[in-house]
Chain A
Amino acid sequence: MTADLPRGRTHPLLFSGTDWDFDTIRRIYEAVEEAARNELGLDTYPNQIEVITAEQMLDAYSSTGMPQLYKHWSFGKQFAHHELVYRKGMRGLAYELVINSDPCISYVMEENSAMMQTLVIAHAAFGHNHFFKNNYLFRQWTDAEGIRDYLEFAKGYVASCEERYGQAAVEQLIDAAHSLMNQGVHRYPRRQRLDLKAEEQREAERHAYQERFYNDLWRTIPTGAQQASRQSEDKRRALLELPEENILYFLEKTAPKLAPWQREILRIVRHVAQYFYPQSQTKVMNEGCATYCHYRIMTRLHRQGSINDGAFLEFLQSHTNVVAQPTFDTPYYNGINPYALGFAMMEDIARICNDPRDEDREWFPDIAGKGDADNVLKHIWANYRDESFIAQFLSPRLIREWRIFHVLDNANKNVLEIAAIHDERGYRRIRRALARQYDIAWQQADIQVVDVDLAGDRHLILQHEVVNGILLAEGDTAQVLQNLATLWGYNVILREVDPATRKVLKEHVARATPAIAA
């Protein structure tokens, strides 16, 4: 290696060259930890770092990054796909994978160079870890402590069901549940923190309770004179807790024909979906936070002499690749890079805190010139999600720098229209439009269970609130509704409704086939 420049070096060199052993990793971890605490004051779960091979990384990919998951063919499909892409060299594997659990598990690949391991530890074991522990969405929606035990239980439960009821029946059920996974999350908090640890015990209790389960669908005793229909309709909806947007939850609680084990599996799929719900809403922030942290930590390590110039240059190269944002007209443009956007915005926020211009003072009176950028950022990491983060903190300067513009695409016109560019008139509109792209409630179709025809043939009525005239994809919808009808046991109707005129734009109907094998 080249001779190191004596420049405020207060720390011993952690490694030279690319080789590492477990001792090196321990030293790296300690140095990174010191930097993370002193430089940024990060607050993290305890860490567990696991060294894995490329094949194990592929395994981890295909179970959606979970250390273990129940068995299902779709994960095999994922694996086959990732394997091909990796073997052909079309895409490298991620250098790390981190699991939101307590202790926080980071997988690092054995192929990584010593510098890469440093970067990965700074990025995942401190950046992501801090975000998982502090962001309000994760605190509200996931139970980092219980997730591993719960997955263990889920895997065992599904396996035992396969043994008792046959692989085909379980597979059919999970297929159906997966197709409704996006409609299987609670979007608004309605109860206390999840306690996944107790789930297994609660499964047994629930089982016992359901023996005595009262289900209004089965009421056969005549209730005397028919009441006014309007009143009974409201009452019925209240009894069934309608409308309900968590379709899996509704089925689990109300579907008349499901066996207890089928309800439990729906519940498992629902919990897994819920676990990933915060992740999909915080991609920019999560990656931005981790990237910002690793950048600060690596810079500090270099400044204090823990890594040499060669390693730092290697880091810079890899870092620039990560935060590169191709423009829309390049052939490899693939949407906005969450790493790039998150990192750029956080750098920008730090700049606004420390060195604001007049424009910044006008746009961000709360933080401009306040100094103490780290605490401002930590506050943001804890209390925002992508949508609110962009809506509040995307600065005019960054819009100019990235030359962001907004295109309106109306299917009725044969040209696209430029709605806003990076000028005074456009800043706010661009910011709002971009924030909306990250608003999960805006991006995902709003579909709710609105009613059950209890007096008639018990068909289930769903409603899709159409936004901007975009209907559901026809082929998929027919298949999913068929699955839904099988689970519900009776017919299902989905109406696509225009929110302004309440006009039904389209109606999908699925007929129930003979009940799912129980």
Chain B
Amino acid sequence: MYIIDRRLNPGGKSFANRQRFLRRAKALVQRAVRDNFKSRSIKDLDQGGEIGITRQGVHEPTLRRAASGGQRDHVLPGNKDYLEGDTIPRPSGGGGGSGSQPGQGGDGEDEFRFVLTKEEYLDLFLDDLELPDLAKRRLMDTEAKEIQRAGYSTTGSPASLAVARTMRLSLARRLALRRPSASEILELEREIARLEQQGGHESQITALKEEYERLVRRNRRISYIDPIDLRYRRYESNPKPVAQAVMFCLMDVSGSMSEHMKDLAKRFFALLHLFLTRCYSHVDIVFIRHTDRAEEVDEQTFFYSTETGGTIVSTALEEMLTIMRQRYNPADWNIYVAQASDGDNMGSDSVKAATLLHDEILPACQYFAYLEVGREEDPMPTGTAPRPSDLWRTYETIATADGHFVMRKVWHRREIYPVFRELFRRRGSNVRGGAA
């Protein structure tokens, strides 16, 4: 009899099968994930969760009898008052009889539900999206240095002496040169002393003494640790690719922005943040709110406190530039800016804002997304677009063709995700599609 503790065996034996399952049902799962997203609050946007897909999509057919028709027998326990020959009305729900026969279920449930982990959820959710120009910037910025171990060297400072390696080499050398060990010498010494005491043979003692001398000499000549044994740990400094990003969230919080609009903006910011955290090991967020003056605030204040005042967009842009100069050198940081507004701006400010954006911000940042949020009750006009807002018209003049700067307008929660996907759709596939 053996008792084996398997608890420490690597888990995840089913991992490969699970991946195959997800791959097989990918289209279904992806649709479920996107549906699921609509009903989620921002806080748990990046959690895993339970989703359901149609059972038919992952059904495994077998040759089996139909659940209805024909003549069937049921044998049941717990008869209360039936007598032979009694008749009972057919229970509703399926013509298959009392539904008591095991194995009849399975047809009824139309959903197969299971839990996705956080990683699986996000992978499916953000599948086929990518950040524009990410690779290029990563390669360009290799300023930062990182110290790395790089083997051993024969020279170095005493502080970086590799003791274990040195001792190993010393031992090898002593063995190779047959350096007599201390215990060997001691034993010989004792032997001589014993012989002298017992009055051993003269010639034998002399021979032993000569041998003793030889060993001591050899011991002295071959040192215990020799300079050629010494090894030092070697370090090299490697250029480290920049994999950090900062995300500026700019939002108009003047009185004209309703809770609904803020909610739209927040959803967009949350999505962008989620996406950035998957691409960069480190993402900073800076919240800048503005009315007719701008300030950096924490998240809570950003989304939930109201301010009154006019609307001057350039103040927010200026504030952003100031913070960028102070803390986020564009050479080291990938800079993303997302601006949300209802489109109001003081007329005279537009030119200034456009200039700031075009001359200073756009050259420094990776991507600038402007999201114009509308009131929910506004109908989505198909043919007759409403008059574009002040800010929209200003920004339109600087919108570039390379997708560096984008602007979109949304009215309703359900549009956020499509807009987001549209902005970050993988460009490569686009090009291929166009060429074909």
Name the residue on A nearest B3 (C-beta): A49
Query: Contact partner of A418 among B50, B64, B71, B83, CB < 8 A?
Result: B83
**Interface readout for A23-46 with B: 1 if CB under 8 Å, 0 if not?**
001100100010000000000001
Query: Contact partner of A411 among B9, B69, B73, CB < 8 A?
Result: B69
Is B14 in contact with A58, judged by CB distance below 8 angstroms? yes
**Interface readout for B94-137 with A: 1 if CB under 8 Å, 0 if not?**
01011011100000000011110000000000000000000000
Query: Contact partner of B66 among A87, A433, A473, CB < 8 A?
Result: A473
Please choose the segment from B74-82, B393-401, B417-425 that sits at the chain A interface, where 4 or more of its residues have CB less than 8 A away: B74-82
Q: For the complex, what is the distance from the CA of A409 to the CA of B91, rounded to whole Å?
A: 11
Given contacts A59-B14, A328-B78, contact A419 B84 (CB under 8 A): yes
Name the residue on B nearest A336 (C-beta): B77
Is B60 in contact with A333, judged by CB distance below 8 angstroms? no
**Interface readout for B17-55 with A: 1 if CB under 8 Å, 0 if not?**
111111110000000000000000000000000100000
Q: For the complex, what is the distance from the CA of A447 to the CA of B64, rounded to whole Å?
A: 10
Question: Chain A's nearest CB lies how many Å from the CB of B74?
Answer: 4
Whether, in the assembled complex, B139 has its beta carbon less than 8 Å from a beta carbon of chain A, the answer is: no
Contacts of B1 in A (CB 8 A): 29, 33, 46-49
Q: For the complex, what is the distance from the CA of A342 to the CA of B24, rounded to whole Å?
A: 41
Contacts of A475 in B (CB 8 A): 61
Contacts of A79 in B (CB 8 A): 14, 17-18, 21
Is B14 in contact with A473, judged by CB distance below 8 angstroms? no
Whether, in the assembled complex, A18 has its beta carbon less than 8 Å from a beta carbon of chain B, the answer is: no
Contacts of B13 in A (CB 8 A): 56, 59, 63
Is A473 in contact with B3, judged by CB distance below 8 angstroms? no
Name the residue on B nearest A429 (C-beta): B84
Contacts of B197 in A (CB 8 A): none
Contacts of B76 in A (CB 8 A): 327-328, 404-405, 407
Contacts of B7 in A (CB 8 A): 51-53, 56, 110
Is B71 in contact with A63, judged by CB distance below 8 angstroms? no
Q: For the complex, what is the distance from the CA of A183 to the CA of B62, rounded to whole Å?
A: 9
Is B4 in contact with A418, judged by CB distance below 8 angstroms? no
Contacts of A329 in B (CB 8 A): 78, 80
Is B115 in contact with A84, judged by CB distance below 8 angstroms? yes
| Of A73, A411, A417, A483, most B-chain CB atoms within 10 Å | A73
Is A472 in contact with B73, judged by CB distance below 8 angstroms? no
Contacts of B78 in A (CB 8 A): 326-330, 402-403
**Interface readout for B364-404 with A: 1 if CB under 8 Å, 0 if not?**
00000000000000000000000000000000000000000
| Of A47, A63, A333, A420, most B-chain CB atoms within 10 Å | A333
**Interface readout for A388-422 with B: 1 if CB under 8 Å, 0 if not?**
00000000000000111111111100111111111
| Of A48, A79, A107, A436, most B-chain CB atoms within 10 Å | A79
Contacts of B190 in A (CB 8 A): none
Whether, in the assembled complex, B149 has its beta carbon less than 8 Å from a beta carbon of chain A, the answer is: no
Contacts of B67 in A (CB 8 A): 473
Whether, in the assembled complex, A267 has its beta carbon less than 8 Å from a beta carbon of chain B, the answer is: no
Q: For the complex, what is the distance from the CA of A474 to the CA of B67, rounded to whole Å?
A: 10
Given contacts A77-B21, A421-B79, contact A51 B61 (CB under 8 A): no
Given contacts A76-B20, A171-B20, contact A84 B79 (CB under 8 A): no
Question: Chain A's nearest CB lies how many Å from the CB of B49?
Answer: 11
Contacts of B90 in A (CB 8 A): 409, 414-416
Is A406 in contact with B95, judged by CB distance below 8 angstroms? no
Whether, in the assembled complex, B89 has its beta carbon less than 8 Å from a beta carbon of chain A, the answer is: yes
Is A25 in contact with B77, judged by CB distance below 8 angstroms? no
Is A63 in contact with B61, judged by CB distance below 8 angstroms? no
Is B75 in contact with A422, judged by CB distance below 8 angstroms? no
Query: Contact partner of A59 among B11, B20, B61, B82, CB < 8 A?
Result: B11
Given contacts A51-B6, A79-B14, contact A328 B65 (CB under 8 A): no
Query: Contact partner of A76 among B14, B70, B72, CB < 8 A?
Result: B14
Name the residue on B nearest A470 (C-beta): B70
Query: Contact partner of B22 among A72, A76, A335, A423, CB < 8 A?
Result: A76
**Interface readout for A478-490 with B: 1 if CB under 8 Å, 0 if not?**
0110010000000
Q: For the complex, what is the distance from the CA of A63 to the CA of B18, rounded to whole Å?
A: 12
Question: Chain B's nearest CB lies how many Å from the CB of A270?
Answer: 15
Whether, in the assembled complex, A476 has its beta carbon less than 8 Å from a beta carbon of chain B, the answer is: yes
Given contacts A59-B11, A73-B24, A415-B88, contact A433 B65 (CB under 8 A): no
Contacts of A29 in B (CB 8 A): 1, 3
Name the residue on A nearest B13 (C-beta): A59
Is A445 in contact with B85, judged by CB distance below 8 angstroms? no
Given contacts A22-B3, A22-B5, A473-B65, contact A407 B115 (CB under 8 A): no
Interface size on A, residues (CB 8 A): 98
Question: Chain B's nearest CB lies how many Å from the CB of A247?
Answer: 9
Contacts of A466 in B (CB 8 A): 70
Whether, in the assembled complex, A94 has its beta carbon less than 8 Å from a beta carbon of chain B, the answer is: no
Is A83 in contact with B87, judged by CB distance below 8 angstroms? no
Q: For the complex, what is the distance from the CA of A474 to the CA of B69, rounded to whole Å?
A: 12
Q: For the complex, what is the distance from the CA of A249 to the CA of B264, rounded to whole Å?
A: 61
Is B88 in contact with A416, judged by CB distance below 8 angstroms? yes
Is A409 in contact with B64, judged by CB distance below 8 angstroms? no
Q: For the complex, what is the distance from the CA of A87 to the CA of B116, rounded to whole Å?
A: 12
Question: Chain B's nearest CB lies how many Å from the CB of A319?
Answer: 19
Q: For the complex, what is the distance from the CA of A396 to the CA of B63, rounded to whole Å?
A: 36
Question: Chain B's nearest CB lies how many Å from the CB of A106?
Answer: 10
Question: Chain B's nearest CB lies how many Å from the CB of A336?
Answer: 7
Name the residue on B nearest A414 (C-beta): B90
Given contacts A50-B6, A433-B73, contact A411 B62 (CB under 8 A): no
Question: Chain B's nearest CB lies how many Å from the CB of A173?
Answer: 14
Whether, in the assembled complex, B86 has its beta carbon less than 8 Å from a beta carbon of chain A, the answer is: yes
Contacts of A420 in B (CB 8 A): 84
Is A421 in contact with B83, judged by CB distance below 8 angstroms? yes
Is A73 in contact with B23, judged by CB distance below 8 angstroms? yes
Contacts of B100 in A (CB 8 A): 328, 333, 335
Contacts of B69 in A (CB 8 A): 411, 469-471
Given contacts A59-B13, A59-B14, A415-B90, contact A183 B61 (CB under 8 A): no
Q: For the complex, what is the distance from the CA of A326 to the CA of B80, rounded to whole Å?
A: 13
**Interface readout for A437-473 with B: 1 if CB under 8 Å, 0 if not?**
1000000110100000000000000000010111111
Q: For the complex, what is the distance from the CA of A411 to the CA of B71, rounded to whole Å?
A: 6
Given contacts A81-B112, A84-B50, contact A51 B21 (CB under 8 A): no
Is A80 in contact with B84, judged by CB distance below 8 angstroms? no
Q: For the complex, what is the distance from the CA of A387 to the CA of B112, rounded to whole Å?
A: 34
Whether, in the assembled complex, A304 has its beta carbon less than 8 Å from a beta carbon of chain B, the answer is: no
Whether, in the assembled complex, A502 has its beta carbon less than 8 Å from a beta carbon of chain B, the answer is: no
Is A87 in contact with B115, judged by CB distance below 8 angstroms? yes
Is A471 in contact with B65, judged by CB distance below 8 angstroms? yes
Query: Contact partner of A62 among B14, B66, B77, B115, CB < 8 A?
Result: B14
Report A142-198 residues with CB < 8 Å from chain B CB: 167, 171, 175, 178-183
Name the residue on B nearest A475 (C-beta): B61
| Of B1, B61, B80, B114, most A-chain CB atoms within 10 Å | B61
Query: Contact partner of A56 among B6, B74, B86, B97, CB < 8 A?
Result: B6
Whether, in the assembled complex, B58 has its beta carbon less than 8 Å from a beta carbon of chain A, the answer is: yes
Query: Contact partner of B2 among A48, A58, A81, A182, CB < 8 A?
Result: A48
Name the residue on B nearest A410 (C-beta): B71
Whether, in the assembled complex, B68 has its beta carbon less than 8 Å from a beta carbon of chain A, the answer is: yes
Is A480 in contact with B17, judged by CB distance below 8 angstroms? no
Whether, in the assembled complex, A503 has its beta carbon less than 8 Å from a beta carbon of chain B, the answer is: no
Contacts of A418 in B (CB 8 A): 82-88
Is A73 in contact with B11, judged by CB distance below 8 angstroms? no
Question: Chain A's nearest CB lies how many Å from the CB of B413?
Answer: 28
Q: For the complex, what is the distance from the CA of A12 to the CA of B90, rounded to whole Å?
A: 59
Is B4 in contact with A76, judged by CB distance below 8 angstroms? no
**Pairs across A and B, CB under 8 Å, 5 listed:** A50-B6, A51-B6, A79-B21, A405-B79, A409-B90
Given A59-B14, A404-B77, A418-B86, 20 other A-B residues pairs in contact with their CB atoms under 8 A: A25-B3, A26-B3, A50-B6, A62-B14, A71-B20, A76-B21, A79-B21, A178-B60, A182-B63, A183-B63, A327-B80, A330-B78, A335-B102, A407-B88, A411-B68, A415-B88, A425-B84, A445-B63, A471-B65, A479-B61
* 10 nearest A-B residue pairs (beta carbon): A327-B78, A76-B21, A470-B70, A80-B114, A76-B17, A469-B70, A328-B76, A73-B20, A335-B102, A409-B97
